[in-house]
Amino acid sequence: MKFTFLARLAGIAIFIIGAAPAQAQQTSPYAGEEQRAIKALSDEEQRGLLEGAGLGYARAAELNGWPGPLHVLELQEALSLTQAQVGEMEALRREMQAQAIPLGRQLIEAERALDALFASGRPSPQDVMAATARIAEIEGRLRAVHLVAHLRAASVLTRHQTMLYGRARGYSDTQDHDAHSHGG
């Protein structure tokens, strides 16, 4: 009786171990996304593109100590911004959005076209190459808009404000967050 119980237990364990990989292979991290209007973009990403949000496009600047205008404005009290600095940051933010929003719309339409290409059931390699090159070109321009805004924002802040910005954003003190400031 003891042998039978152990044999059954071993059999169940082997079944569970054997079934686990089959189950894992059936579930995709993309499950449910096939219902999206544009498969490559979530509703949140589309909203961000239409609002001129950063969406991580300026991460190279941000994480290397170059503050962004939106976050500087959010931290204006902690950074002790002057009224002139606030005005300059607001102007930078408006300019960035004025450039980013049309590019966001273009990117959404380019992704919609790529999606439609695959939905047609007959995408050719040439069509895919052209569609993705278009997406890359728009996305590159959009990323540059956000990165340049960080460059320009850094020139408005003092070294001390840039250091305070890095701390307020939770970045390591080992990084030289104030080396890029050109302000007073």
Check: CB of residue 145 under 8 Å from CB of residue 169: no
Domain boundaries, the chain: 38-168
Q: Give which of 46, 29, 67 is closest to 163, Cα–Cα.
A: 67
- Listed range (65-69, 115-119, 180-184) with the worst mean pLDDT: 180-184
Distance separating alpha carbons of residues 141 and 131, to the nearest angstrom:
16
Per-residue pLDDT tens digits for 138-164: 999 999 999 999 999 999 999 999 999
The reported pTM is 0.79
